Amino acid sequence: MTEQVVPGHNRWHPDIPVAAEVNPGDEFRVECREWTDAQLGNNDSANDVRDVALDRCHMLSGPIGIRGAEPGDLLVVDILDLGPCQPPQETGPAPGQGWGYTGVFAKVNGGGFLTDYFPDAYKAIWDFHGQRATSRHLPGIRYTGITHPGLFGTAPSADLLAKWNERERALIATDPDRVPPLALPPNESDVLAGTLSAGSSEFNAVAREGARTVPARENGGNHDIKNFSRGSRVLYPVHVPGAKFSGGDLHFSQGDGEITFCGAIEMGGFIDFGVDLIKGGMAMYGVTTNPVFMPGNVEPRYTEFLSFVGVSVDHDTNTNYYMDATVAYRRACLNAIEYLKKFGYSGEQAYLLLGSAPIEGRISGIVDIPNACCTLYLPTAIFDFDVRPTAAGPTTANRGQCAVTS
């Protein structure tokens, strides 16, 4: 990203200059680097996952200024099209050039939803075949992805940025030595601030104050919503003049929750947008602390699922967690992993699959004390063998292995 004519950025800050400007009603294309800036390669080792420099992430394209946008407006964004690098499916060494990857991040460097169960780094490489993906690291699986951006949003105001930093530092202070950390505060290492010159007072302010891009916040950001695909319309709150719309982190596919942290099939590529404004829309519709979106109608037609249930109980310690949907969904994921292991997949392979395939995660019961109930829907058609339970038992086979660390 640093080698682009107009570099992008990897922090949220209102003073990062716009890279380009558009008018309401315009349609335009944004090209995006993969979120780590191609630190991970198409190989059979997960050392690059283990050693990835997270201070550089995410690499965002933009900011794009929308003429006439003012604080209090809603920025209307239509996703017209998106995909891997073109033409028509470019091949090369960077993610998005005909391939992508899913990573389980090490507990000491990022972690993931099941990091206490899978503390080491693992990786699966996926090859793109039009709309479908296959992996040499997860044989017997082929599925259609719901391609989408993981991260887009508007710039925060100085006041909103200060609130983010204040509340996240307070959270970190409750357990400052936790691994992985509870949140990521501003960090002056590996900062990229668009066209601002390193060492200038403006650049130093971004480095000192700029918010990390890992979580979703009031401006949008890293939502990782798999149905945020072609045909979607998103309404983003505008906090600064021009809105300063930025993003990237394109995904070929992802399961609900992106549970491995790098759980999608990560790629670089392109995304086409149309934009408009609703003047005064934040107050008009009560949209102040989050974007609103309408999902597109482009998704694979999977009609049969195996559904795994989890409740808010830690069965290892026989501990009840009152109405905790996070614990319940974690248990649903673990139950699915144990099931897939009976067919010959390792736990790590199953974990990678659940993060990247178009599984559906749902909060199914949130009122029946003391147990929240969550469910995970796994499409049966993504396997080239029958994964449904029968009296004959599971079809066990040698399913190879994912990429591991040396």
Q: Which of 126-135, 183-192, 293-302 has the lowest mean pLDDT?
A: 293-302
Determine what percent of the chain is predicted with pLDDT higher than 70: 100
pLDDT score at 87: 79
Q: Which residues contact 318 (CB under 8 A, 6 or more apart)?
A: none
Would you list the DSSP string of 144-174? Answer: E---EEEEEEEPPPHHHHHHHHHHHHHHHHT
Q: What is the residue extent of each domain of the chain? A: 20-294, 305-404
Q: Could you read off the pLDDT of 38-73 as tens digits, one per residue?
A: 999 999 999 999 999 999 999 999 999 999 999 999
Averaged pLDDT for residues 204-227: 97
CATH 1.10.357 fits 305-404, yes or no: no
pLDDT at 129 exceeding the cut of 90? yes
- Tell me, what amino acid is at 398? N
- Residue 12's pLDDT band, with cuts at 50, 70 and 90, is very high
* CA 89 – CA 93 distance, rounded (Å): 13
Nearest-10 Cα torsion for 143, 133, 225, 37: 170
pLDDT score at 242: 98
Angle of helix 325-341 relative to helix 347-356, nearest 10 degrees, comes to 120
Q: Any alpha helices (H) in 201-324, and if so which ranges?
A: 201-209, 281-285
Beta bridge partners of residue 250, listed in sequence order? 149, 267
3 state SS of 210: coil
pLDDT at 89 exceeding the cut of 80? no
CATH 2.60.120.580 fits 20-294, yes or no: yes
Q: Could you read off the pLDDT of 298-339 as tens digits, one per residue?
A: 889 999 999 999 999 999 999 999 999 999 999 999 999 999
Residue-averaged pLDDT of the chain: 97
pLDDT at 88 exceeding the cut of 80? no
Averaged pLDDT for residues 278-284: 98
- Tell me, what amino acid is at 220? G
Angstrom CA distances, 177 to 120, 174, 181, 183, stand at 19, 9, 7, 11
**Dihedral pair phi/psi, residue 169, rounded to 5°:** -65, -40
**Dihedral pair phi/psi, residue 211, rounded to 5°:** -80, 140
CB atoms under 10 Å from CB of 305, counted, come to 15
pLDDT at 250 exceeding the cut of 80? yes
Q: Could you read off the pLDDT of 187-203 as tens digits, one per residue?
A: 999 999 999 999 999 99
Structure tokens at 342: 């009976």
* CA 126 – CA 136 distance, rounded (Å): 7
End-to-end CA distance of the chain: 29
* CA 119 – CA 137 distance, rounded (Å): 19
Averaged pLDDT for residues 341-356: 98
Averaged pLDDT for residues 17-24: 98
* CA 185 – CA 165 distance, rounded (Å): 7
Residue from 113, 53, 403, 82 nearest 258 by CA: 113
Q: Are 97 and 125 in contact (CB under 8 A)?
A: no
pLDDT score at 263: 86
